């Protein structure tokens, strides 16, 4: 009895690694690798318009996605609508990431000091990030609502405008509204990441810089920045990647409208595959996004390797 | 120019150190002012949707918008449960988020521990595969996920596809949260001294006993962080729920809230009430477990 118990124990111990890693691995392979495989396969097929059968079309979906109809060959003209929603994506992601980064850095630096009630402020700051994005998107749609919205309410009371403004019906204003909402949601994330980085800066270095009479700017550049670099890169990577692929806010606020002026990659992908049931072209867009994401990760990862953490 | 006493001295002396305010004190008040302004701007929209949720529908659409409800009412909250199946949406959200959390925390803890402690063949490549899975843009996978969930079942005897079931959502959310859970837990275990495990082994514990009795209890804060984040992410998820569900038998609260948006008319007062219910766990966790959430994000994102 004693002996069989012991050998069972030894067997269980020997199986510790496979038993703890195995299930996770199997799950991840089935729910990620298999869909990724299906994504690539789907991107090479189209449903026949008449028979509804699946047809292998090679890279045709990519050609339709990227290049203007009627263009003969690959290296001709880019599809104007592809150019338009790619430009929207860049404007949206670029502005929103830049603004939330600068704002987040400012708030993090204000919080990185000995303030009474700091923990309360941090609590108040974190909440917007963990609300459902649908909630936040609809909330901002309500804020910007054409007649009864709070922003029109303010502007009317202050006398800035005479009549309500239909923010979400104007392409430029709708894009501004999306960026405002996105900055509102994600600045807290930037604050948390950068604050964690700021707290890793050794206090003595600040004291030393002060003794040396370094200016504020030089203190930031020579003391804070080198330590903050890894956090900055993490914040930027995650912000960029998330904004590129996030659909929630855009979809509930504008659905890509008015007249596609806020259409971004994510909303195009969703519309193509779900509304127009064009799985092949939707999958091609998915493959493209995958490639772009990996590109960005690789570029930013290269920056990473010089960080003080890695040593 | 004012002289500049140390922070400690300024605190001891208070503000009135001389004719001028010392820089440190003035700076602190500026910091307070700016931070308060930011917090007010940050919370105003939440306040606005909250007061909308307790306004009678008629008052919600007054021009210009009113910022204080004249007749607060709970009618909108009652309505969404009586006129719409909000109890089902809430139940679905709870089942999906809880199940996902339990699976992700259990597997994430076990796997994270092994990656933190054991050197085995291909461990780095495996960890990279698991963590790299987090980098996938989920939306790129809506086409295959929709197709797979609509496929007829692989195993005979199962009736129907997984489309429009809570199981479909749970599987999807495991894909979102498991890699992240493994990563947070691995980093958490890295911070617990290995000497504890070694001592347990010397005392005759098996690998399992050492893990469960000695190391696991020390990892509670990490487990809390992982659980809170997995729960919140699953509770909040919208896009996949939109694609993979179609009836109230599996639709979750974010979908329920989005259903208030009709093409030309939005019932803002009731939408606000539904939104507040969907936002409730976020607000609750944010207010009471901020510390765990922050440690979870920073461990998951920045390797310390």
What are the tens digits of pLDDT across the range A140-151?
A: 999 999 888 899
Query: How does the average pLDDT of chain B come out, rounded?
Result: 86
A161 touches chain B (CB under 8 A): no
Work out the average pLDDT over B247-261.
93
CB A31 to CB B175 under 8 A?
yes
Q: Do B278 and A135 touch (CB under 8 A)?
A: yes
- Give residues 226 to 245 of A whose Cβ lies within 8 Å of B: 230-231, 234-235, 238, 241, 244-245
Q: What is the largest CA-CA distance in chain B?
A: 86
Indicate the pLDDT class of residue B113, thresholds 50, 70 and 90: very high
Q: In this predicted structure, what is the pLDDT of residue A300? A: 79
Q: What confidence tier does A310 reach under pLDDT thresholds 50, 70, 90?
A: very low
Reported as a pLDDT band with limits 50, 70 and 90, residue A3 is low
Span B136-156, average pLDDT = 82
List chain B residues with CB under 8 Å of A122. 290, 294
Mutate to test the interface with B, among A127, A180, A271 (most CBs of B within 10 A): A127
CA distance B61 to B265: 12
- Cβ–Cβ below 8 Å for A142 and B182: no
Test B275 with A135 for CB contact under 8 angstroms.
yes
Q: Is 70 exceeded by the pLDDT of residue A189?
A: yes
pLDDT at B93: 97
pLDDT of residue B255: 95
By Cβ distance, the residue of A28, A125, A153 closest to B65 is A153
Contact B150, B245 (CB under 8 A): no
Segment A86-110 shows an average pLDDT of: 95
> B241 and chain A: CB distance < 8 Å anywhere?
no
Crossing angle of helices B123-132 and A16-28, rounded to 10°: 30
pLDDT in tens, B223-235: 999 999 999 999 9
- Closest residue in B to A252 (Cα) is B258
Residue A54: φ, ψ to 5°: -75, 130
Tens digits of residue pLDDT in A203-213: 887 778 777 87
Instruction: Answer yes or no: do A134 and B238 touch at CB < 8 A.
Output: yes
Mean of per-residue pLDDT scores for chain A: 86
Contact A143/B45, CB-based, under 8 Å?
A: yes
How many angstroms separate the CA atoms of A91 and A100, rounded? Answer: 14
In angstroms, the separation between the Cα of residue B86 and the nearest Cα of chain A is: 16
Band the pLDDT of A233: cuts 50, 70, 90: confident
More confident residue, B74 or A257: B74
Of B5-19, B48-62, B238-252, which range is least confident?
B5-19
Q: Is the pLDDT of residue A308 over 60?
A: no
How far is B33 from chain A, CA to nearest CA, in Å?
10
C-alpha A263/C-alpha A82 separation (Å) is 10
Which helix or strand (DSSP H or E) is residue B112 part of? helix B86-117
Q: So what's the pLDDT on residue A101?
A: 96
Residue A179, chain B, CB below 8 Å: the answer is no
Q: A33: pLDDT confidence band, cut at 50, 70 and 90? A: confident
B194/A contact by beta carbon, under 8 A: no
Q: What is the dihedral of CA B160, B178, A126, A136, to 10 degrees?
A: -20
B49 contacts B271 by C-beta, under 8 angstroms: no
Q: Is the pLDDT of residue A122 over 80?
A: yes
Among B129, B144, B180, B263, pick the best mutation site for testing chain A contact (most A Cβ within 10 A): B144
User: Is it the case that residue A178 has pLDDT exceeding 50?
Assistant: yes
Per the CB < 8 A criterion, the answer to whether B278 and B256 are in contact is yes
Residue B64, preceding peptide bond in cis (omega within 30° of 0): yes
Q: Which of B86, B88, B98 is nearest to B277 (CA)?
A: B86
The answer to whether the Cβ–Cβ distance between A245 and B60 falls below 8 Å is no
Mean pLDDT of B181-198: 91
Would you call B174 and A31 a contact, using CB atoms and an 8 Å cutoff?
yes
B264 touches chain A (CB under 8 A): no
Q: Is B37 an 8 Å CB contact of chain A?
A: no
SS (H, E, C) A190-203: HHHHHHHHHCCCCH
Nearest CA in chain B to A36: B141
Q: How confident is the model at residue B243 (pLDDT cuts 50, 70, 90)?
A: very high
Residue A46's DSSP bridge partners are: A55
Whether the pLDDT of residue A71 is over 60: the answer is: no
DSSP code, position B127: H
Give the pLDDT mean for A299-310. Answer: 59
Q: Is the pLDDT of residue A124 over 60?
A: yes
Neighbouring residues of A276: CB distance < 8 A, sequence distance ≥ 6: none
Taking CB atoms and an 8 Å limit, are A132 and B261 in contact across chains?
A: no
Query: Which of B206 and A70 is assigned the larger pLDDT?
Result: B206
Chain A residue with Cα closest to B110 = A20
CB-CB under 8 Å, B141 with A39: yes
Q: Which of A50-64, B2-16, B180-194, B287-301 has the highest mean pLDDT?
A: B180-194
Q: What is the pLDDT of residue A73?
A: 55
Identify the DSSP state of B62: -
Task: Tell me the mean pLDDT in the region A161-170.
Answer: 89
Instruction: Write the DSSP string, chain A.
Output: -HHHHHHHHHHHHHTHHHHHHHHHHHHHIIIIIHHHHHHHHHTTEEE-TTT--EEE-TTHHHHHHHB-TT--SSSSPBPHHHHHHHHHHHHHHHHHHHHHHHHHHHHHHHHSS--TTHHHHHHHHHGGGGS-HHHHHHHHHHHT-TTT-HHHHHHHHHTS-SS---GGGSHHHHHHHHHHHHHHHHHHHHHHHHHHHHTTS-HHHHHHHHHTT--HHHHIIIIIHHHHHHHHHHHHHHHHHHHHH--HHHHHHTTT-STTTT--HHHHHHIIIIIS--HHHHHHHHHHHHHHHHHHHHHHHHHHTTSTT--
Query: A48 pLDDT exceeds 90?
Result: no
A41-49: average pLDDT? 86
Which residues in chain A have their CB less than 8 angstroms from residue B298's CB?
192-193, 196
Interface of A with B in 68-97 (CB under 8 A): none
Provide the chain A residues 120-139 that lie in CB contact (below 8 A) with chain B.
Answer: 121-128, 130-136, 138-139
Give percent above pLDDT 70 in chain B.
88
Q: Does A113 touch chain B if contact means CB atoms closer than 8 Å?
A: yes
B182 touches chain A (CB under 8 A): yes
Q: Which two tokens stand for residue B13?
A: 């002396």
| Dihedral sign, Cα of residue A212, residue A217, residue A222, residue A228 | positive
Q: What is the mean pLDDT of residues B41-60?
A: 92
Res. B279: pLDDT tops 70: yes
User: Are B92 and B98 spatial neighbours (Cβ–Cβ below 8 Å)?
Assistant: no
Given pLDDT bands bounded at 50, 70 and 90, which one contains residue A13?
A: confident
Residue B21: predicted pLDDT: 60
Highest-confidence segment of A79-83, A251-255, B149-153: A251-255
Of A16, A132, A153, the CB nearest to B236: A132
Q: Is B88 on the interface with A (CB under 8 A)?
A: no
Chain B nearest-CA residue for A194: B298
- Is the CB of B163 inside 8 Å of chain A's CB atoms? no
Cβ(A129)–Cβ(A189) below 8 Å: yes
- The pLDDT assigned to B154 comes to 65
Q: In the 8-state DSSP scheme, what is residue B267?
A: -
Q: How far is B5 from chain A (nearest CA, A)?
A: 13
Alpha-carbon span A47 to A41, nearest angstrom:
13
Q: How confident is the model at residue B204 (pLDDT cuts 50, 70, 90)?
A: confident
């Amino acid at each position: 009895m004693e002996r069989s118990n012991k050998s069972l124990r030894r067997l269980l111990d020997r199986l510790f690694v496979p038993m703890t890693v195995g299930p996770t691995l199997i799950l991840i392979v089935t729910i990620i690798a298999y869909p990724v495989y299906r994504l690539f396969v789907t991107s090479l097929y189209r449903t026949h318009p008449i028979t509804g059968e699946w047809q292998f079309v090679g890279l045709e979906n990519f050609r339709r996605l990227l290049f203007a109809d009627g263009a003969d060959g690959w290296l001709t003209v880019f599809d104007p609508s592809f150019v338009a929603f790619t430009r929207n994506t860049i404007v949206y992601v670029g502005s929103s990431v830049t603004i939330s980064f600068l704002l987040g850095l400012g708030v993090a630096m204000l919080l990185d000091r000995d303030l009474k009630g700091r923990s309360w402020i941090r609590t108040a700051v974190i909440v917007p990030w963990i609300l459902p994005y649908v909630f936040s998107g609809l909330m901002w749609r309500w804020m910007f609502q054409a007649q009864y919205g709070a922003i029109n309410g303010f502007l009317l009371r202050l006398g800035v405008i005479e009549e309500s403004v239909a923010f979400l019906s104007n392409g430029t204003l709708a894009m501004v509204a999306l960026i405002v909402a996105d900055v509102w949601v994600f600045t807290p994330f930037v604050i948390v990441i950068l604050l964690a980085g700021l707290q890793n800066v050794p206090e003595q270095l600040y004291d030393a810089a002060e003794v040396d009479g370094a200016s504020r700017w030089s203190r930031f550049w020579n003391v804070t920045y080198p330590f903050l670099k890894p956090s900055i890169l993490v914040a930027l990577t995650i912000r960029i990647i998330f904004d590129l692929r996030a659909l929630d806010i855009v979809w509930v606020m504008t659905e890509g409208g008015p007249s596609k002026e806020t259409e971004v990659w994510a909303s195009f992908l969703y519309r193509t595959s779900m509304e127009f049931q064009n799985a092949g072209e939707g999958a091609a867009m998915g493959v493209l996004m995958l490639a772009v994401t990996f590109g960005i990760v690789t570029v930013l990862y290269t920056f990473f390797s010089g960080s003080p953490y890695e040593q | 120019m004012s002289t500049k006493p140390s922070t400690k001295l300024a605190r001891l002396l208070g503000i009135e150190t001389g004719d001028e305010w010392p820089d440190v004190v003035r700076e602190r008040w500026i910091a307070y002012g700016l931070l308060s302004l930011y917090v007010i701007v940050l919370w105003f929209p939440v306040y606005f949707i909250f007061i909308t949720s307790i306004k009678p529908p008629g008052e919600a659409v007054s021009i210009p918008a009113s910022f204080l409800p004249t007749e607060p009412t709970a009618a909108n909250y009652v309505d969404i449960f009586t006129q719409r199946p909000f109890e089902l949406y809430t139940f679905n959200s709870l089942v999906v988020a809880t199940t996902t959390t339990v699976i992700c925390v259990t597997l994430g803890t076990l796997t994270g521990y092994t990656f933190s402690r054991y050197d085995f063949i291909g461990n780095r490549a495996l960890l990279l595969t698991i963590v790299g899975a987090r980098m996938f843009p989920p939306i790129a996978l809506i086409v295959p996920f929709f197709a797979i969930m609509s496929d007829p079942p692989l195993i005979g005897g199962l009736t129907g596809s997984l489309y429009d079931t809570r199981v479909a959502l749970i599987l999807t959310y495991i894909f979102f949260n498991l890699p992240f859970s493994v990563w947070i837990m691995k980093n958490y275990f890295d911070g617990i001294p290995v000497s504890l495990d070694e001592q347990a082994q010397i005392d005759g514990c098996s690998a399992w006993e050492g893990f469960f009795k000695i190391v696991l209890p020390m990892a509670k804060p990490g487990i809390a962080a992982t659980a809170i984040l997995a729960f919140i992410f699953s509770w909040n998820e919208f896009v996949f729920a939109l694609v993979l569900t179609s009836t109230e038998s599996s639709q979750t609260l974010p979908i329920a809230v989005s259903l208030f948006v009709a093409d030309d008319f939005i019932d803002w007062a009731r939408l606000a009430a539904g939104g507040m219910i969907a936002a409730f766990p976020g607000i609750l966790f944010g207010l009471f477990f901020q510390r765990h959430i922050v440690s979870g994000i920073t461990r998951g994102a920045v390797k310390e």
